[in-house]
Structure 1
Amino acid sequence: MIGRAAIEALVPHAGAMCLWDEVLDWDGARIRLRAGTHRAPDHPLRSGGQLRAVHLCEYGAQAMAVHGGLRAQAAGGQARPGMLVALRGVELSVTRIDDLAGALECEAEVLVEAEASQQYGFRILHAGALLAEGRAAVMLGSPQAAG
């Protein structure tokens, strides 16, 4: 298992904006993570005292970033910077998530990969129930920008 400090070292998200607490398992094609950050009263994405389900898309995008960081690290390098450019097929089964007891879990997998882009599918669950699923596309920066 990979903890929060190691995750923060892999992604550009720091402090409260780093949404995942631990990596449960991963390989070259997929990753599974867990977090309890959705319950934090000072969550940076909260508004009006609530954390809305649409923010699960950010959880999915950050799962992609963690996976990219782990893959790059395993290859002896550093992940290239990326920019989320599209969300597709997103389905949400709740309206808010801050009131959910227990951890969120995410399963994300690489669907399409090219030199300058990636597309992942993600699913976010709570207590075995599907909260959100969709696809996210990222454009990758130049390899020189990562170093």
Structure 2
Amino acid sequence: MIGREQILALIPHQGAMCLWDEVVDWDAAGIHLRARNHRDRAHPLRSDGQLRGVHLCEYGAQAMAVHGGLRAQAQGGTARAGVLVALRGVDVHVARIDDLPGDLECTAQPLAEAADSQQYAFRITHAGTVIAEGRAAVVLQGDTP
């Protein structure tokens, strides 16, 4: 298992904006992560005392970043930062997530990759029930390593 400190070293999202607490498993074909911070009253995405289901898209995008960081690290490098440019086929099945008592879990898999872009599918569950799923695309910044 890979913990939060190792995740923080892999991605640009720092402090409370790093949404994942641990990597349960990963390989080149995908990643499985877990988070508990959705219940935190100080969560940086909260507004009006709630953390809304739409924020699960950010959890999905950060799953991509963690996977990219792990893949780059395995090849002896570091991942390029990315900018989220599109969400497609997103289904969010809950209005809010701050009231969910258990951990959030996510699986994500790369669907398409080019030198300067990536597209992933993500699925987020709570207590074995899918609460969000979709596809996210990022444009990678900087030069190709």
Extract unaligned runs of 5+ from structure 1: none
TM-score norm. by structure 1 comes to 0.97
Q: 1:16 aligned to 2:16?
A: yes
What secondary structure sits across from 1:97 in the alignment? coil
The alpha carbon displacement at 1:81 in A equals: 1.2
1:102-123 alpha-carbon deviations (Å, 9 max, x no partner):
1000000000011110000000
Q: How do residues 73-112 of structure 1 correspond to structure 2 at under 5 angstroms? A: 73-112=73-112
Name the structure 2 match of 1:123.
Answer: 123
Matched, 1:70 2:70: yes
Query: TM-score, with normalisation over the residues of structure 2?
Result: 0.98
Segments of structure 2 that go 5 or more residues without pairing to the other structure are none
Cα distance per residue 1:57-94 (max 9 Å; x no partner): 00000000000000000000000111000000000111
Q: Percent identity?
A: 70
CA apart distance, 1:141: 1.4
Partners of 1:142 and 1:51 lie apart in 2 by 32
- Does the alignment pair 1:137 with 2:142? no
Residue 35 of structure 1 aligns with which residue?
35
Q: Structure 1 residue 142: deviation in Å?
A: 2.5
Counterpart Cα distance in 2 of 1:69 and 1:75:
10
Q: CA RMSD in A?
A: 0.9
Equivalent position of 2:47 in the other structure? 47
| Structure 2 SS opposite 1:20 | coil
Kindly report structure 1 stretches of 4+ aligned residues shifted beyond 3 Å: none
**Larger deviation: 134-143 or 90-99?**
134-143
The alignment partner of 1:111 has SS state of strand
Deviations 1:14-37 (A, max 9, x none): 111100000000001100000001
